[in-house]
Amino acid sequence: MYEVTLKARAKINISLDVLRRREDGYHDVKMIMQTVELYDKVYMRKTRKQGIFINVNLRWLPTDDKNLCYKAAKLLMDSFQLEDGVYIDLYKKIPVAAGLAGGSSDAAAVLVGINKLFRLGLSKDQLAEFGKQIGADVPYCIMRGTALAEGIGEQLTPLKAFPDCYVVLAKPDIKVSTPWVYKNLQLQNVDKHPETDHLIEEIEKNNLKSIANQLCNVLEEVTIKEYPVINEIKRTLIEQGALGSLMSGSGPTVFGLFDDKNKAKEAVAYIKNNGIAKHVFFSSIYNPRG
């Protein structure tokens, strides 16, 4: 095998709870993660020339060791002393710094791609161990599907597949710093935490409406106060027929869950026409088969 094309899919948070701040500065979390159909395209091929060569459709993104794809490729290539090089062409569709794990998913795809191209024979669990060295979301992006994430996000428990539904994703034209959000989170002032265990029960029952009613992300306490447009998008999605709406990760992307395809598409058109968000996508839940 000399080339491979992979889909690096986005994730959303069905719930996100922060339990405590750790002594190392990180936070212990408990959250339900879900993959959606929106994806970046990652084309990779082996080269006789040694090195890692990256091309990205967004010219302002780095293509050196500041890029997570570069870090992922270098990690495996150094670990296994691979002599050939690799060319990576990254076509980004997932918005950058959006709370959708786009960069982590791209890095996960590169780990999978190197494993295939160089026939390393690594299992998903082994790839996930390498992924932990790149970022907390990378192991999940290798697993994909529906999962409970604990620790700093790297402790994963697969869950029953999430109910099929349509997902509208809307990112306003703002940038949110994840470290800033966590730094400003005052856990003692958080009024509402997700009922994560009950959400898992409802996922097992395939009860989409109940799940949508219980969407909860404690980081909204920080981000919405600073950027009220996030709440405006949530409200708009509900008005347009979403069963439930939530900010994903530390933001600023907001998603809505729909059981009606036409309503979801109409919501996309409404948000675009009214300029409420810079990036708007019609998508759906992605559950790996087999």
**Cβ–Cβ < 8 Å for 215, 246:** yes
Instruction: Give yes or no: 164 in active site.
Output: no
For 187-231, what is each residue's pLDDT tens digit? 888 889 999 999 999 999 999 999 999 999 999 999 999 999 999
Q: Determine the Cα–Cα distance for residues 279 and 261; give it in Å rounded to an integer.
A: 19
Beta-bridge mates of residue 127: none
Spatial strand order of the sheet with 279-284 comes to 244-247, 254-258, 166-171, 279-284
pLDDT at 53: 97
Domain residue spans of the chain? 3-158, 166-284
**Cβ–Cβ < 8 Å for 10, 39:** yes
**Cβ–Cβ < 8 Å for 124, 132:** no
Beta-bridge mates of residue 85: 47
pLDDT at 23: 77
**Cβ–Cβ < 8 Å for 219, 250:** yes
Q: Do 3-158 and 166-284 show the same overall fold?
A: no
Q: Determine the Cα–Cα distance for residues 206 and 284; give it in Å rounded to an integer.
A: 16
pLDDT at 22: 83
Instruction: Give yes or no: 28 in active site.
Output: no
The active-site residue out of 30, 137, 171, 234 is 137
The active-site residue out of 11, 30, 71, 171 is 11
Q: Determine the Cα–Cα distance for residues 240 and 280; give it in Å rounded to an integer.
A: 14
pLDDT at 153: 87
Q: How many residues are present in the chain?
A: 290
- The per-residue pLDDT string of the chain (290 residues; one tens digit each, 9 = 90 and over) reads 789 999 999 999 999 999 988 878 778 999 999 999 999 999 999 999 999 999 999 999 999 999 999 999 999 999 999 999 999 999 999 999 899 999 999 999 999 999 999 999 999 999 999 999 999 899 999 999 999 999 988 899 999 999 999 999 999 999 898 889 999 999 888 889 999 999 999 999 999 999 999 999 999 999 999 999 999 999 999 999 999 999 999 999 999 999 999 999 999 999 999 999 999 999 999 999 85
pLDDT at 290: 58
Superfamily of domain 166-284 in CATH is GHMP kinase, C-terminal domain (3.30.70.890)
To the question of domain 3-158 being in CATH 2.30.30.30, the answer is: no
